[in-house]
Chains A and B, each alone.
Chain A
Amino acid sequence: MLIRYLSQIGKYFLMWKEIFNKPTKWSVMKGLIFKEIDDLIIGSLGIVAFISFFVGGVVAIQTALNLTNPLIPKYLIGYATRQSIILEFAPTFISIIMAGKVGSFITSSIGTMRVTEQIDALEVMGVNSLNYLVFPKLIALLLYPFVIGISMFLGIFGGFIASVYGGFGNSSDFIDGLQIDFIPFHITYAFIKTLIFALLLATIPSFHGYFMKGGALEVGKASTVSFVWTSVTIILMNYILTQLLLT
């Protein structure tokens, strides 16, 4: 069992090496990168915006409902919303959602290509299939921090709307809360995490799709396994990065 896991981890790192080997012609790669940006980044904006806005609202409401002591200032709603959204919700929670949305898409599309011999066709033609299929995804997901930036903005905006229009506090209290004790490094920390999660989001689902064996049923299974492993790795990396960067 352990040997199997270790062998899979080794295979994953060897895949990384192969992704950069024998690059595809730039004129072809350019088109592939734009297509992946459209599929993986632009295509995810809607769901990320929707979730961020409403979860931001819920964070603000729950914070407000827990502030029963009149000595605790109202600006704490804005402060708590900002900290929750920037430090954890946007980079980590959204990445778990992306592991489901983008990760499953990557695994199933590459897995289907494996099942229908399209990857064999690329290899027989002399194309480095890992570079052709995974490299554009990797580059496209380097734009993932922009998605998280939008998520941060909309999460805080959702919190503002819920707090002010829900009658939990006024706008100046909320804005004061956003500004108080602001540590710019927290933004850097969040984007470092995001960038590392982006690399995981591109490569772990690709690995599960590329090396899958079997038919249509196995494509479904590979998507599920890929989601589980991407989520587990994101959570572990989140812990390690937090320990390294914030302590």
Chain B
Amino acid sequence: MIEVKNVEKSFGGTKVLKGVSTVFETGKTNLIIGQSGSGKTVLLKSLLGIHTPEVGTISFDGRIYSDLTPDEKRELRTEIGMVFQGSALFDSMTVAENVGFPLKMFTNNSKSETKDRVDFVLKRVNLIDAHHKLPSEISGGMQKRVAIARAIVNNPKYLFCDEPNSGLDPNTSILIDNLIKEITEEYNITTVINSHDMNSVMEIGENILFLKNGLKAWQGTKEEIFRTDNEAIVEFVYSSNLFKKVREAYLKG
């Protein structure tokens, strides 16, 4: 479980996060949604330790990040898996080397143990045939799956995904969403996804945090989105006619 308490963060005098408090639950797909500039990415980067909040605390299962020593912070980071928006695969390494990288860096596994684990996770993301390919030789969807494989190879406790569906076609997006959801449940990890994609919200949003102008404007489940009267979330989610009709149909039963 990740607990965010009253987090504030500014850049050059502009306050981007204005006191956000929330809880991201274990074993659930937690989504952060909001318009561009609402503070989603800053919140995610604060969770990752890339940004340091000026006010407030972030705790990982009771461990307050700002109170940890540099070594403890590095130790905690080995418990984190991250899927970047652009996948961030190491372009000089093959798919298998990318996936095996955290094992090579942080475990004393033998070569065969590493290979077995890499095979296992690549099989889990349906990429067993892509071992020797370079990231530049595979599609965007496959790159995302490699990034997910790399993020989970070291059995993380926390999985963060920044816009995992950006640039993907609808079918591949659904595949990636379902894969993240399955992995979250299978390994009982705390997953936090930063997303713009309303299909993802409706597909896998078990705990949705809606940010507006750096503040928590709403939090709930995907089912609650249909019933809520909160103007901010209704305006954001139902900005497309398709979702308006879906909501009307849902409310009519």
Partners in one complex: yes
For B102, the chain A residues whose CB sits under 8 A away are: 125
CA distance in complex: A117, B86 (Å): 8
Render B27-65 as a binary contact track against A, CB cut-off 8 A, 1 for contact: 000000000000000000000111000000000000000
Q: A116-B88, A117-B84, A118-B88 are in contact. Are A123 and B105 (CB under 8 A)?
A: no
B74 and A117 contact, CB distance less than 8 A? no
A117 and B105 contact, CB distance less than 8 A? no
Interface residues on B, range: 20 to 34
A123 and B75 contact, CB distance less than 8 A? no
B74 and A126 contact, CB distance less than 8 A? yes
CA distance in complex: A127, B106 (Å): 9
B78 interface residue per 8 A CB criterion = yes
CA distance in complex: A110, B102 (Å): 20
Render A96-132 as a binary contact track against B, CB cut-off 8 A, 1 for contact: 0000000000000000100011101101111110000
B77 and A124 contact, CB distance less than 8 A? yes
- Pick from B48, B85, B105: contact of A127, CB under 8 Å: B105
The segment out of A21-29, A224-232, A237-245 that lies at the interface is A21-29
CA distance in complex: A125, B77 (Å): 5
For A27, the chain B residues whose CB sits under 8 A away are: 104
Q: A22-B74, A121-B82 are in contact. Are A126 and B106 (CB under 8 A)?
A: yes
For A128, the chain B residues whose CB sits under 8 A away are: 74
Q: A25-B105, A28-B104 are in contact. Are A126 and B75 (CB under 8 A)?
A: yes
B91 interface residue per 8 A CB criterion = yes
On chain A, the number of residues with a Cβ less than 8 Å from chain B's Cβ atoms is 17
Render A115-158 as a binary contact track against B, CB cut-off 8 A, 1 for contact: 01110110111111000000000000000000000000000000
For A124, the chain B residues whose CB sits under 8 A away are: 48-50, 77, 80, 82, 160
B187 interface residue per 8 A CB criterion = no
For A120, the chain B residues whose CB sits under 8 A away are: 50, 84, 88
B90 interface residue per 8 A CB criterion = yes
Closest-CB distance, B97 to chain A (whole angstroms): 11
For A116, the chain B residues whose CB sits under 8 A away are: 86, 88, 91
Closest-CB distance, B137 to chain A (whole angstroms): 16
Closest chain A residue to B80, Cβ basis: A124
- Pick from A22, A25, A28, A121: contact of B88, CB under 8 Å: A121
For A125, the chain B residues whose CB sits under 8 A away are: 77-78, 80, 82, 101-102, 105-106
A24 and B105 contact, CB distance less than 8 A? yes
Render B68-101 as a binary contact track against A, CB cut-off 8 A, 1 for contact: 0010001111101010111011110000000001
For A121, the chain B residues whose CB sits under 8 A away are: 82, 84, 88, 90
B90 and A28 contact, CB distance less than 8 A? no
Q: A24-B105, A125-B105 are in contact. Are A117 and B88 (CB under 8 A)?
A: yes
For B89, the chain A residues whose CB sits under 8 A away are: 118
Closest chain B residue to A119, Cβ basis: B88
For A123, the chain B residues whose CB sits under 8 A away are: 50, 77
For B90, the chain A residues whose CB sits under 8 A away are: 118, 121
CA distance in complex: A22, B78 (Å): 14
CA distance in complex: A101, B101 (Å): 29
For B82, the chain A residues whose CB sits under 8 A away are: 121, 124-125
CA distance in complex: A126, B91 (Å): 19
CA distance in complex: A121, B70 (Å): 18
For B70, the chain A residues whose CB sits under 8 A away are: 22
Closest chain A residue to B76, Cβ basis: A126
For A118, the chain B residues whose CB sits under 8 A away are: 88-91
For B101, the chain A residues whose CB sits under 8 A away are: 125
Knowing that A123-B50, A124-B50 touch, tell me 15 more A-B residue pairs with CB under 8 angstroms.
Answer: A28-B105, A116-B88, A117-B84, A120-B84, A121-B84, A123-B77, A124-B48, A124-B77, A124-B80, A125-B77, A125-B105, A126-B75, A126-B80, A127-B105, A128-B74
- Chain B residues at the A interface, C-beta cutoff of 8 Å: 48-50, 70, 74-78, 80, 82, 84-86, 88-91, 101-102, 104-106, 160
Between-chain CB contacts (< 8 Å), 15 pairs? A27-B104, A28-B104, A116-B86, A117-B85, A118-B90, A120-B84, A123-B77, A124-B48, A124-B160, A125-B77, A125-B80, A125-B101, A126-B74, A126-B77, A126-B106
